[in-house]
Amino acid sequence: MWRAITRIPKTLESLGQGVAVLPQQFQHSQLYNKHNNIRSITNYPSLHNEASLIKPKYRMSSVKPKVVFVLGGPGAGKGTQCSKIVERFHFEHLSAGDLLREERSREGSEYGQLIEDYIRNGKIVPVEVTCSLLENAMKNSGKSRFLIDGFPRNQDNLDGWNRQMSDKTDMQFVLFFDCAEDVCVTRCLGRGQSGSGRTDDNMDSLKKRIQTYNNDSLPIIKYFENAGQVKTIDASPDADKVFQQVERVFVSNGFQ
């Protein structure tokens, strides 16, 4: 169950003290151990020097936008709840996955095939691409409150955010949708069967996504939890009951 997050030694730096480094030998239970042979994506240009890949034309406002990270396993209901938060609290919803899928399908995108291969194999797209897409979307929105859905998903994402975006934003908290695995699997497969159009809403991709979530994303949630910045939501009930919990969290944190 994703509810049981393995404890991590408290060697991580606090959020305000720079970039944290998770222990390299962190061991995490895996839902699908037999799927460890996911192939690596190679033969693509290095992205570490491509921070200006999708560089905004203008600098972001001097008033730091407020950011809430929204995390949870595949099928935990992040997108559904973000839509409700947007309506109730007037946030701008930025889905890292949606932004990547849009860039993948954009005609002439240099990194479209790279993004396609990473998503199809349940792997996490290089952070330089994701941060650039997020920054551009924030700049273009004209808003000051943002839900960043599905990010940061691993240590590389967190490090990249700290390098590129942490000084430009005011991170409020992490909204963690904690959901039973069987519920998540059923939701994802049902979404795929109903014509979601997502190439990763199938069992093969789902197994890889779950493995990636267990290995890479849960440690990041635990890191923020140790820093006292996680608001945990029981995401197994129906959407309206889940949102009752979400609404209480936002109101208690000063959002009206």
Q: According to the annotation, is 88 in a ligand binding site?
A: no
Q: Residue 151: how many CA atoms within 13 Å on its side-chain side? A: 33
Helix, strand, coil percent values for the chain (each to nearest 5)? 45, 10, 45
**CA 26 to CA 29: how far, in whole Å?**
10
Q: According to the annotation, is 150 in a ligand binding site?
A: yes
Beta bridge partners of 232: 176
Q: According to the annotation, is 152 in a ligand binding site?
A: yes
Q: According to the annotation, is 59 in a ligand binding site?
A: no
Q: According to the annotation, is 77 in a ligand binding site?
A: yes
Q: According to the annotation, is 76 in a ligand binding site?
A: yes
Strands 230-234 and 170-178: parallel
Cite the beta strand spans of the chain per DSSP E: 66-72, 92-95, 145-149, 170-178, 230-234
Query: What are the tokens at 229?
Result: 């910045």
Q: According to the annotation, is 123 in a ligand binding site?
A: yes
Query: What are the tokens at 111?
Result: 């990194």
The residue type found at 198 is: R
Spatial neighbors of 29 by CB under 8 A, at least 6 apart, are 6, 214
Q: Residue 197 to residues 28, 41, 101, 191, 201: CA-CA distances in angstroms?
A: 31, 23, 11, 9, 8
Q: According to the annotation, is 16 in a ligand binding site?
A: no
Strands 145-149 and 170-178: unpaired
**CA 166 to CA 18: how far, in whole Å?**
10
Q: According to the annotation, is 101 in a ligand binding site?
A: yes
Q: According to the annotation, is 120 in a ligand binding site?
A: no
List the binding residues.
Answer: 75-80, 101, 123-125, 150-153, 157, 191, 198, 209, 237
List the binding residues for ATP.
Answer: 75-80, 191, 237
List the binding residues for CMP.
Answer: 157
List the binding residues for a ribonucleoside 5'-phosphate.
Answer: 101, 123-125, 150-153, 198, 209
